[in-house]
A and B are shown apart, each in its own frame.
Chain A
């Protein structure tokens, strides 16, 4: 079965620090990969996605992620975080099984940015 691992459960940074959140998945075939963000008190929002093509994908709010097939990784990065980036971040992989697409989520990484 497919699975998604997020290595950091809690990350604390100061504003302007660089961010990298790890995500690894277990599946050898074609994958669609996603990062979702959940700001405090808000619902889950799509941050960025990778389907095919350029392995470096750019999302909203200055986030980007790089798909490295050989490492089964899809790490999320941002060169300079802001206090407003405080949120929980979920990596997800699309699984096609039983005739349906479904998302498999990682455990999430809770990011706290201090001013």
Chain B
């Protein structure tokens, strides 16, 4: 399994600001995913990031709010833009080896609180 790290592990931000979350993997992976876990709720996929192409966003999530970069096969960033208290969540990075019968592995998450 891949070892995934995320920075920051937690942050408290003011309304209207933006935060960029970094995800680093210890091996090259094709697919990286970003999830949101709101308080007391399950995981919801925000977008899928494939190296060398634009991220694919799920219904309800847009690039202007959650821009994603995927500059290489071991790194991705998710930015939460123009934050509001409703964006307070845990944001998780996940990786999968590719198309087909994937197993996804998850990073430790970034706990974001927006005041």
Binding site for B on A (CB under 8 A): 32, 34, 36, 42-46, 49, 51, 90, 94, 96, 98-108
Shortest B76–chain A CB gap in Å is 15
Shortest A88–chain B CB gap in Å is 9
> Which 10 A-B pairs give the minimum distances between C-beta atoms?
A44-B106, A43-B108, A105-B43, A105-B42, A101-B102, A107-B42, A51-B101, A100-B48, A108-B42, A102-B45
Q: When the two chains form their complex, are residues B106 and A49 in contact, meaning their CB atoms are under 8 A apart?
A: no
Q: State which residues 61-115 of B face A: CB under 8 Å.
A: 92, 94, 96, 99-109
Q: When the two chains form their complex, are residues A44 and B92 in contact, meaning their CB atoms are under 8 A apart?
A: yes
Residues on B with beta carbons closer than 8 Å to the beta carbon of A103: 33, 43, 45, 94, 104
Count A-B contacts at CB 8 Å.
Answer: 56
Residues on A with beta carbons closer than 8 Å to the beta carbon of B92: 43-44
Shortest A50–chain B CB gap in Å is 10
- Chain B, residue nearest A42 (CB): B108
Q: When the two chains form their complex, are residues B42 and A46 in contact, meaning their CB atoms are under 8 A apart?
A: no
How distant is the Cα of A105 from the Cα of B42 in the complex, in angstroms? 7
Residues on B with beta carbons closer than 8 Å to the beta carbon of A107: 41-42
How distant is the Cα of A56 from the Cα of B100 in the complex, in angstroms? 21
Whether, in the assembled complex, B23 has its beta carbon less than 8 Å from a beta carbon of chain A, the answer is: no
How distant is the Cα of A98 from the Cα of B42 in the complex, in angstroms? 23
Q: When the two chains form their complex, are residues A34 and B50 in contact, meaning their CB atoms are under 8 A apart?
A: no
How distant is the Cα of A99 from the Cα of B94 in the complex, in angstroms? 17
Q: When the two chains form their complex, are residues A90 and B56 in contact, meaning their CB atoms are under 8 A apart?
A: no
Whether, in the assembled complex, B28 has its beta carbon less than 8 Å from a beta carbon of chain A, the answer is: no
Whether, in the assembled complex, B1 has its beta carbon less than 8 Å from a beta carbon of chain A, the answer is: yes
Q: Quick one: given A100-B48, A100-B56, A102-B45, are A43 and B109 in contact (CB under 8 Å)?
A: yes
